Structure 1
Amino acid sequence: MGFRAAVAGASGYAGGELLRILLGHPEIEVGALTAGGNAGTPLAQHQPHLIPLADRVLAETTPETLAGHDVVFLALPHGQSAAVAASLPDSTLVIDCGADFRLEDPADWERWYAGEHAGTWPYGLPELPGQRAQLRAARRIAVPGCYPTVSSLALLPAVAAGLVETQDIVIVAASGTSGAGKSPKPQLLGSEVMGAVSAYSVGGVHRHTPEIEQNLRRVTSDAVTVSFTPTLAPMPRGILATCTARVQAGVDTAAVRRAYADAWAGEAFLHLLPDGTWPSTAATAGANTVVAQVAVDERAGRMVAVAAMDNLAKGTAGGAVQCMNLALGLPETTGLTTIGLAP
C-alpha cells in the first residue's frame, strides 16, 4: 500500500464511515486511530461493524500520535481542528471534516459559529467549477458540510446557466439522525424520532446557510440569498433536499434538464435520473453519489430540483476520500462506490 492514514475522532459517525471506506481503499493503510473522551477504549466498543480493526485501542489525539502519516483526517467537533492541524508538518495532507476552515469570510464565521476564524483551506467539493486543480495541489482541505454538498450540487447547474433568479432560493432538506453526531441528545432518542418528522434551526439560523450561499456565488455575479430549513427524518442516514428558485422568462423543464445533463456529463458521482423518476435516499445509502431530478412548476414559475445523498458517505467521509485521491495523485474514484444499498 502506498499511503498511511490516521483518523482523529475515530469513535464518531464520520470517523467510522471514514474507516469503513479506507479499509476498502487499495492504496491506504489505516494507521493511528484517536479520540477525545473515548481514548483508551477499544474501537470495537464504538464501531462494531469494523471487524478488521476490532482489536485497535483508541489513542489520545496528540501531535506525536498523528506524526509520521501521509494523510490525517480530522473528524472532530467544530473548533477543535485548527490546533491539531497547526501541530502537523506542511508536508502532511490534512483533511478536515469539520467546519473550521470552510468559510472564506471571517465575518461569516464569527456570526454563525462565534469565536475567532481559523482561516480558509481549499474547499473539498471537486464538482465545483475549477476546484479540482486546487485540490490536486493542496496539503490542507476543508470538507463541505453535508447539507451544503447536496444543496449546492442540486442548484449549481441552474445558477451557473442563469436559468433562475438567485435572490429567491428556497431549500427544505430532510436528514437522517446521524447528521447530528453521536453525542446523546434527548431529541434524538428513538422514542422521539420514530414515527416523526420535525423541523429545526428554522428562520435562517442554520450554520450551513452561508456555506451554501458561498458555493453558489462562485458561479454567478448576482447576489445570492438562500432560505434554508432542515428537518429531521426517522432514518439513520441520508438527505433528501428539495430546492426551488424562480425561473427566468422562457425557461422550461427541457431547458433545465439540458443544463444539468451538460453540467454533469462525465461526473462519476453525480447522476441525473431519467425523466419521471425521483430520488430516494435508499438508493444512495453507502454510496458516494448524488442522484437528482429537476422540473419546472410552470404555474408557480419555479424550478424544482430534488437531490438525494448519503450524508455520511458523499456528504462527509466519501467526499473526504474523493479529495484525498485528488491530492495524492490517485484516480478520483479509487476506493469509492456508486452502488447503494436498497431496500
Structure 2
Amino acid sequence: MSDGWLGGQYFDGRRSAGHAARLRLEGDCLVLILADAVQRYPARQVRLGMQVGKAASYLWLDNVAIFECSDQTSLAALARDARGAPRTGLLHRLETNWRLILASAMLVAAFLVGSIIWGVPWISGLVAQAVPAHVEQWVGEQSMSTLDEYWLEPSGLDDQRQAGLKEAFAPLMASLNKAYPNRAWRIELRSSEALGANALALPGGIMVFTDDLVELAADDTELVSILAHEAGHVVHRHGLRGIVQSSLALWLMMSITGDLSAASDLTTSLPAILANLSYARSMETEADSFALEVLLERDIDPAHFASIMRRLEATHGQGETSRIGEFLSTHPPTRERIERFDEASQQLKR
C-alpha cells in the first residue's frame, strides 16, 4: 500500500474479466480508480469476503462488484477502518489454526468410527423393522431370482429325498408359520458349485439349502438345526439390515470424503467393508441364539448343530484361524460356535 492506495483487481459482477484498479479510504467513502473512471462507494456498506486458504482476499463494494487483492493484511485493515470489520474472517482463522485443525480431524475420526460401530447398526435395525412385510418379501423374491440366474441350479436330489426333507422340516416350518405369520416361509433346494455345502436366508422367509449341504448331513436332524439357524436370520430381518447397513456405511464414507467416486475406490470404501463384515458376525451370533432356543424348546439335542458345523468346517478347509482371520470372517469363529452348542448339549443331558 502506497499513500493509502491499495492495488488489485476490480470485478463489476457482469463480466468474468477483472480490471486493474486502486482503492483507498477517503472520509466515509471508498474511492476506486480504474483506467478511465473513478467510482465511490459508501464505506459502511463494504463487506470483507471470507478468505479460503491462500486465495486472494476481496471486498464486496456493493451487492455485485468486488475488489480483489493479494495483500490480505492491508485489505483487512482497509475494511476494518471502513466499518470496523474484523481483521480476518472466521473461516480463515479456523483453517490457519493448527490446534483447531487437529481437534477437528480427531472429532471427524471419532464421529466416523462411532457412526460405523454404533450408529449405523442402530439406525439400520430401526429401518429394517419399519419396512412393511410385503416389501421385505418382494426383496426376498428378487434376490432369489437373481441367485437362480447367476449362482444356483435346480436341485439334483431325487423326488423321494426331497419329499423326505420336506417331511423332516414340516414341524418346525409349521411352528414358524404360526409364530411369525407375516413371513412367507418356504424352503428352496438348489445345486451350486459356487456355494458348495451351504444354506442361506433371504428377506421375507425364503431359506435355501444346497444339495452339497444335504449330502454332508449325517441325518435330517442336523439339517433341522441348520434350518433353525437360518430362521433366526429371517426373524431378526438380518437380510434387510445387511442391505441397509451396507448402504448407510457407503453413504457415510461418501459424505465424509465428499466424493461420489468413493463407492468404487477400494482405499476409501475399505473401512465400510470391514465394518459390514463385523456386522455379519453379530448377526450370526444372534441367529445362533435363536437356533439354540428353538432346538431346546423342541427337545432337539444342540449337539446335532455342533456336529454338522464340524463337518462344514472341515469341508471348507477353515482349520485354525488367526486373530486377523477371525475378525475378517463373516461368521464368528467356528470353534466358538461349536463349543457353545456342545455346552448346551451337555447341560441338557445332566
Q: TM tier, shorter chain?
A: under 0.3
The structure that has the greater radius of gyration is 2
Where relative contact order (Cα < 8 A, 6+ residues apart) is larger, the structure is: 1
TM-score, normalised to structure 2's length?
0.23
Q: Which has the higher helix share?
A: 2
Q: Which has the higher strand share?
A: 1
